[in-house]
Each structure stands twice: as structure tokens, then as C-alpha cells.
Chain A
Amino acid sequence: MSDLTFVRSDMQPALPPPVRTTGAIAWTRKNLFPSVSNGVWTIVAILFLLWLVPRLYGFLIGDAIFTDPEGLRGEACRFEGVGACWAYVAARFNFFIYGFFPLGEVWRVNIMFILGIIFLAPLLIPKAPLQKTAALMFFVVYPIVSYWLMAGGEFLGIPGTALRTVPTNQWGGLTLTLIISMIGIIVSMPLGILLALGRQSKLPIIKWFCVAFIELWRAVPLITVLFMASVMFPLFMPQGVNPDTLLRAIVGICLFQAAYMAEVVRGGLQAMPRGQYEAASALGLSKPKTMGLIILPQALKHVIPGIVNNFIALFKDTSLVSIIGVFELLNTVRAAARDLDWSSPTQAVTGYIFAGFVFWIFCFGMSRYSIYMENRLHTGHKR
């Protein structure tokens, strides 16, 4: 035996995987051309994008008019092959955001927006400091301050705080869209929960009242509700009693949404296994505590997608108030679409694209936040 035996002292390095399974080529093969039919669809999709993207780019950016330095207004956007007329949106931006709110008083709306963000942010960010204070501010103080900022007059009757009065028919634009949807969301949520609980109640009067309320409001289209609220309602009131049109519309939307919310929440309640109630009883919890500590937190968590779905629908439904002559975002865009100062071939289209984009930002934001909340509250029940 000689000592010339070969003993390898280090590991043989792993060979690179075959070229066909790595790198750009393999990725392409795996994801874009795994089979003939998928390959065909890939090619079709690429051709479609090649057709669409340059056109979109051309219309929205390439051929679009962003500024109007010479003050030509409509003429600046009036030529063959013009893209979007963003200068028009910029010129009427105030109208789209604030509606008929007096231009000198717009700072009040801005303060309201900023306060809203300050108070709302701690409530949306988990484990943010001062959440209880923020909740108190947002749900109690903020509505009062906002009303004062928007409507004017004296703050809680304190002399020296008088702001110029702005009647509600001068509120408008995105401001009004946000006001309506915010009130709708904040009011319909607790109301919906109460209705859902009431519908499950064993007390017949409460139960049947809730059932009748929910079924009545769900059986009527929102347009009808708004139309009744704005046009028919005054006929039933004694002369002189004429609540504000906007207020009537908002009340209508809140009740309408509460009925839908109630059914979503009921779905969550019914998904709770009986064992949860029994466990709560075994711990000696009272009925309200069972609901508040055990059932509702779980039930609501289950139906977050449904709830946010309702919020998004509500946000978009605010555009229906245009039927009663309220100038929310879409209606301001529609009203300005034929503004003679800016008349040009793409004037109306540009306005609608702007409105669509604004709606999309808010709806997409709500949707992403809902997904975030779902993941945060995820406790292993999900598949």
C-alpha cells in the first residue's frame, strides 16, 4: 500500500444549473411561452401593448398641452392631433376641487383637509401614539370644526369667531365628494353593525324593525332615494320647514349604506362558530361583553373585504348626487366640459380622464389599505 491515495479535502463545487432552466431565456420560456396557446396569447398581448402604449403616451403626455404660457386658453389646445389639454384642467382646478366655494375663502377648506389628515393618520397607522386623543378629535371635535370652516358663522356661538357664511349650494367639487363619502362611511358603519345585531336579536320588535329597515332600503335604488329626498320630501313638510338639500341627500345616503353594511356584518356574525359564544359564556362574560370582546372583533375581521367593498362603492356612488343638482367632483367636471373659454377638441375628454384618475386614486388607496389591514389582523385562520 503506498500512500499515494487521492483524498479530496474540499467539496466539489456544485455545477451551475443547465442553461435551459436559468437566466432570461428560461424565465421567458417558463412564464411567457410554456405552451403553444400561451405563446400565442403572449404575442397577442405584446402586440396590443405595442399598439396601446404609444397612443396612450401620445395622448396623455406626448401631444398633450400642459401649460398655457401665452394665455391663449382654448386656442392653445386647438390643433390637429392634439392630446389631452391639461392646461384646461389646471385652469379649472379650483372649480373641480372646491366647486363654487368663494375663491377668497378656499383656505378654510384647505385647513379642513389638513386637520383631517392630522387627526386621521394616527387612527390608520397601527400602534401610533395618542390614538385615543386622535379618535376623540376625529369623531367629535373635527366634525364640529369642519362644519364651522365650511358653513361659516360663529364657532359654537363664540363672538369674534365669525367667518363668512357659505351656503351649502356653494360647496362642491372634490371637497363635497369627500365630505359626503366621509360622513357616509362614518355613519353607516356603526349604524350597520347595530342593524345587523338587531336583526339577530330575539326581541321581535327590534328584529322586525331591523329586517323591515334593511329590506326597505335595499329594495330601492339610490337614485330614487336621492330623488325622493331632494324633490318629494319638501312636499310632505309644512311650509317653512325645509331642511337643506345637501343634508337630505347625505341622510339618504347614510341610511341606504347602513342597510347594505348591516348585511355584510351579518355575514360575518353568522360565520362565527357556536363554540365562540359558548366559550364566552363559560368565561362568565355578559351578552354585551361577549359581543364586544369575542364575537364582533372576529366577525368584522372576516368581512373586511366586504366592508371596504361597500366603502368603495359608496365613494363612487357619491357621483349620483349630481342627479339632484349637487356639484360634486363629476358634476363640476361635466359642467365645465363645455366652458367656452377653453373649448377645444379634447376639452371634455381631458376633464373626464382627470375625474376618473382622482376617483381611482381614492378607491385604489382604500383597497390597498384593506389588504394591509387584512394581513395585519391575520391570525392563522386564512388559507
Chain B
Amino acid sequence: MKNKLLTLAVATATAVAAPAAFADTLDDVIERGYVQCGVTLGVPGFSMPDENNNWSGLEVDYCRALAAAIFDDPDAVRYTGLTSQARFESLGNGNVDVLSRTTTWTMTRDTDLGLTFVGTMFYDGQGFLVKAADGISSALELSGAAVCIEAGTTTELNAADYFAANGMDLSNAVIFVTRDEVTQAYLDGRCDVYTTDASAIAAERTQFPDPSAHVILPEIISKEPLGPVVRSGDTRWFNITRWTYFALLNAEELGVTQANVDEMLGSDNPEIKRLLGVEGDFGSPIGLSADWAYRIIKHIGNYGEAYDRHVGPNTPLGIPRGINALWSQGGIQYAPPIR
């Protein structure tokens, strides 16, 4: 009797756990006809509903790239707005196929939740905002400056560490309890420097009375790598998501853009040929067609184009490319070659 009960319990537990395994996400996605993508509830530049009720942003472009690679249709995506409390559970229980939602890649999240990070779409981290009139061009010139900081946050610790490590003076820092107070104090001129995550600074700045009077310094002093997440255990789906990201980077490195991609089909460069599926078939091992990367670039463009479109210097956010530049241009965005 006891054994029977035990068997029953194990069977039930397996039955309950089974749906979480999701045998093959790609098959499910193809059968369904669209990718389910978990996004934020509205973070400018990353995922945000626009005036025509369409989602747009850097992280949304990643979902669109995925749909383009699979269906040759960037609109074959269904977006689910997720709060930060519900995001991992929604991915785990199959409400979404991929989470592209300003999620910081940390060891716990990568190893402990049955989830796997795909890559880093955006290297975020703590940055500094200063008034353009002060003529500061590097964070290393900030010694002795009045820095506005939110109390008790990692922001405060990061700033203290950075200033100490570079032998600079942080004694004039002004501490506030809430973000709003910090912003207000900076605007009122009670401090010279405003520091928090670069993407947040940029979003904050767009609502200043005169955004152009403030500049974001190029230094990023902490690590907040934001990237897409998938469920662990489905290698093919993981490869598709990862190589979609790599294709965006490789296209930029090889100079293939949305505008010239058709022209590039005739290129003599073997790397471009392989990327666009002119030579060899790199799509079938991951369950896609040979021109999977061509589709991505045709519909979305390369990584640099997506960056410039949503968060780059010519957008209202105006985040300098900084460490998000390609490795060949002084940044750390790097993709293994396709061959």
C-alpha cells in the first residue's frame, strides 16, 4: 500500500512537472504560427507600445528577428507584458517562449531557475549624467563633485568603489531616499552628477525640461548585462535564439545592413556568403532554412541598426554606443563566426 501511494505520488509529480519540460519549442512555435515573447510593461527604447499599438524597441527587435528567422515574417510574434515578479514563472510555465525583458544575467538566474541566458543584447550598468555646460567628458574628472545618489542601493556602493579605486574624492556626495528626489535635486542644481543605470538615466533625461543640456558620460562602472532568456533543456531552441543574436552581430561586423543585404547576396566575401546562406547550409542543423540570417537582416537590419534605431545617440534616449560597440570598434559585443 505504501509503495502504491509512493508510486502514485511520483507519477503525479512527474505528470505535473512534465509540461514544464516542453519537448520541442520550435515545433510548438511552428505549429502555433507565432513566437510568444515576454516583454516589459513599457521601458523606453527596449520594449514600448507606440501610437499605433505596436511594440517597438531593441528587445522587441530581438523577438522580431527570431520570428523573421523562423517564419520570414517579423510580425509573427505575440507579446506578453510581464512584471518583474512574474517573468521567470511565465517563461517556466510556457506562457512565453522567450523572455526579452531587460533581465540582468546573473549566476543564480542562469543556474537555479531552470532557465538559460542566450546572450547580452545590451550591456547596461551604472553611468553618470552631467550638465553639458560643465564640460566634463570622462567620469575620471569627477573627483570632488557633488554626486546625487539613492541611499542604500548598489548604486551607492558602486560609486563608492569606483571613486576609491580611482583615487577620487566622493565626500561631496548628496544622498537621497527615492529616485524622484534624486532627479529633482539634480534638476534643482543641488548636485553636479546624477548616477544610476545608464538606460534609466537616459529615460529619466528625456523628461527633463531641456534634455540636450545634459550628457551621459561614456564610462559604465557596473555590470548589468541584459539579455534574452529561454528554458533550459531544449538545445535546438537555445541554439536558434543564440544564433539569432549572433547573426545580428555578425551582420554588423561584416557590414551587411538592411539596405544592402540583397546586394550583398552577390558578395565575394566567403563569410558573408555563409552568413546569408549563399554558400553552405547553416540553417538546417537548427531546424531553419538556409537563408535564416538573410531573413533577419532583411526585416530587422543588423545589431547596430537596431541599436541606433531605438537607444542610440540619435534617439531621444541618446545612449552612446560605448561598451555595446563591436569588439573591433572598442566595445565588447562579440559573436563567434558562422562556418
- The distance in angstroms between the C-alpha atoms of A334 and B41, with both chains bound, is 8
Chain B residues with CB below 8 A from A345, complex form: 207-209
Segment among B77-85, B217-225, B282-290 that sits at the interface with chain A: B77-85
Binary contact readout B4-43 vs A (1 if CB under 8 angstroms, 0 otherwise): 0000000000011011101000000000000000000111
- The distance in angstroms between the C-alpha atoms of A347 and B19, with both chains bound, is 43
Is the C-beta of A236 less than 8 angstroms from some C-beta in chain B?
Answer: yes
- The distance in angstroms between the C-alpha atoms of A102 and B16, with both chains bound, is 37
* Contact A340 B81, beta carbon cutoff 8 Å: no
Counting chain B CB atoms within 10 Å of each CB, which of A103, A230, A237, A239 scores highest?
A239
* Contact B83 A340, beta carbon cutoff 8 Å: no
Q: A324-B86, A325-B82, A331-B81 are in contact. Are A245 and B95 (CB under 8 A)?
A: yes
Chain A residues with CB below 8 A from B86, complex form: 227, 230-231, 323-325
Chain B residues with CB below 8 A from A92, complex form: 51
Counting chain A CB atoms within 10 Å of each CB, which of B18, B81, B83, B86 scores highest?
B81
* Contact A338 B19, beta carbon cutoff 8 Å: no
Question: In the complex, which of the residues A94, A325, A336, A339 contacts B83, with contact meaning CB atoms closer than 8 Å?
Answer: A325
> What total of chain A residues lie within 8 Å of the partner, measured CB to CB?
47
* Contact B15 A231, beta carbon cutoff 8 Å: no
* Contact A79 B209, beta carbon cutoff 8 Å: yes
* Contact A325 B51, beta carbon cutoff 8 Å: no
* Contact A167 B93, beta carbon cutoff 8 Å: no
* Contact B50 A341, beta carbon cutoff 8 Å: yes
Give the distance to chain B from A366, nearest Cβ to Cβ, in Å.
Answer: 28
Chain B residues with CB below 8 A from A341, complex form: 50-51
* Contact A231 B89, beta carbon cutoff 8 Å: yes
* Contact A235 B16, beta carbon cutoff 8 Å: yes
Chain A residues with CB below 8 A from B206, complex form: 74, 338, 340, 343
Q: A235-B20, A340-B45 are in contact. Are A103 and B52 (CB under 8 A)?
A: yes
* Contact B83 A78, beta carbon cutoff 8 Å: no
* Contact A237 B19, beta carbon cutoff 8 Å: yes
* Contact B51 A338, beta carbon cutoff 8 Å: no
- The distance in angstroms between the C-alpha atoms of A339 and B208, with both chains bound, is 14
Is the C-beta of A95 less than 8 angstroms from some C-beta in chain B?
Answer: yes
Is the C-beta of B232 less than 8 angstroms from some C-beta in chain A?
Answer: no
Give the distance to chain A from B237, nearest Cβ to Cβ, in Å.
Answer: 16
Chain A residues with CB below 8 A from B83, complex form: 322-325
* Contact B207 A343, beta carbon cutoff 8 Å: yes
Counting chain A CB atoms within 10 Å of each CB, which of B18, B80, B85, B207 scores highest?
B207
Binary contact readout A189-208 vs B (1 if CB under 8 angstroms, 0 otherwise): 00000000000000000000
Q: A78-B209, A331-B81, A338-B43 are in contact. Are A238 and B15 (CB under 8 A)?
A: yes
- The distance in angstroms between the C-alpha atoms of A100 and B55, with both chains bound, is 10
Chain A residues with CB below 8 A from B80, complex form: 169, 325
A residues 91-115 near B (Cβ < 8 Å) are: 91-92, 94-95, 99-103
Is the C-beta of A335 less than 8 angstroms from some C-beta in chain B?
Answer: yes
Give the distance to chain B from A108, nearest Cβ to Cβ, in Å.
Answer: 15
Chain A residues with CB below 8 A from B210, complex form: 78
Is the C-beta of A80 less than 8 angstroms from some C-beta in chain B?
Answer: yes
Residue ID in chain A nearest B41 by CB atoms: A335
Residue ID in chain B nearest A223 by CB atoms: B85
Q: A238-B19, A335-B42, A339-B48 are in contact. Are A325 and B81 (CB under 8 A)?
A: yes
- The distance in angstroms between the C-alpha atoms of A92 and B49, with both chains bound, is 10
Q: A103-B52, A239-B19, A327-B81 are in contact. Are A339 and B44 (CB under 8 A)?
A: yes
Give the distance to chain A from B55, nearest Cβ to Cβ, in Å.
Answer: 9
Residue ID in chain A nearest B21 by CB atoms: A239
B residues 79-108 near A (Cβ < 8 Å) are: 79-83, 85-86, 89-90, 92-95
Residue ID in chain B nearest A78 by CB atoms: B209
* Contact B93 A235, beta carbon cutoff 8 Å: yes
Binary contact readout A217-235 vs B (1 if CB under 8 angstroms, 0 otherwise): 0000000000100111011
Chain A residues with CB below 8 A from B95, complex form: 230-231, 234, 245
Residue ID in chain A nearest B90 by CB atoms: A231
Question: In the complex, which of the residues B22, B49, B209, B317 contacts A100, with contact meaning CB atoms closer than 8 Å?
Answer: B49
* Contact A338 B82, beta carbon cutoff 8 Å: no
Is the C-beta of A84 less than 8 angstroms from some C-beta in chain B?
Answer: no
* Contact A335 B93, beta carbon cutoff 8 Å: no
* Contact B207 A344, beta carbon cutoff 8 Å: yes
A residues 228-260 near B (Cβ < 8 Å) are: 230-232, 234-239, 242, 245
Question: In the complex, which of the residues B19, B81, B207 contacts A235, with contact meaning CB atoms closer than 8 Å?
Answer: B19
Is the C-beta of B119 less than 8 angstroms from some C-beta in chain A?
Answer: no
Counting chain A CB atoms within 10 Å of each CB, which of B48, B50, B53, B203 scores highest?
B53
Residue ID in chain A nearest B43 by CB atoms: A338
- The distance in angstroms between the C-alpha atoms of A80 and B213, with both chains bound, is 14
Is the C-beta of B315 less than 8 angstroms from some C-beta in chain A?
Answer: yes
* Contact B203 A103, beta carbon cutoff 8 Å: no
Chain A residues with CB below 8 A from B19, complex form: 234-235, 237-239
Seed contacts A230-B95, A234-B94, A339-B51; 6 additional CB < 8 Å A-B pairs: A95-B51, A95-B53, A237-B19, A325-B81, A331-B41, A334-B42
- List 13 A-B residue pairs with CB atoms under 8 Å apart, sorted by A's residue number: A169-B79, A230-B86, A231-B95, A235-B92, A239-B22, A239-B94, A245-B95, A323-B86, A338-B206, A339-B44, A341-B50, A343-B206, A345-B207
Question: A residues near B, CB below 8 A?
Answer: 74, 78-80, 82, 91-92, 94-95, 99-103, 167, 169, 227, 230-232, 234-239, 242, 245, 322-325, 327, 331, 334-341, 343-345, 347-348
The 7 closest A-B pairs by CB, nearest first: A335-B42, A343-B206, A239-B19, A231-B89, A325-B81, A234-B93, A340-B316
